[in-house]
């Protein structure tokens, strides 16, 4: 668990120190897309979600 939290901590420090705030929306979008893919695999709504893509 320590390695995952250190990755997020390093990413946050990188964005904070280098003023790379434009990276944050990309990361949020990728995380939400990942949750959608996981949800679509285990849901009864899978056919509906797959037709969107």
- Identify whether the C-beta of residue 52 lies closer than 8 Å to the C-beta of residue 43: no
pLDDT of 37 reads: 79
Mean pLDDT throughout 13-42? 85
At residue 31, the 3 state secondary structure works out as helix
Q: Hey, what are 45's tokens?
A: 């709504």
pLDDT of 51 reads: 75
Check pLDDT > 60 for residue 15.
yes
pLDDT of 2 reads: 60
Confidence at 29, pLDDT banded by 50, 70, 90? very high
Contacts for 8 with CB less than 8 Å, ≥ 6 apart: none
């Amino acid at each position: 668990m320590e390695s995952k939290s250190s990755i997020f901590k390093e990413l946050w420090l990188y964005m904070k120190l280098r003023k790379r705030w434009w990276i944050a929306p990309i990361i949020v979008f990728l995380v939400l897309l990942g949750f959608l893919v996981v949800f679509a695999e285990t849901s009864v709504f899978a056919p509906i979600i797959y037709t969107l893509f």
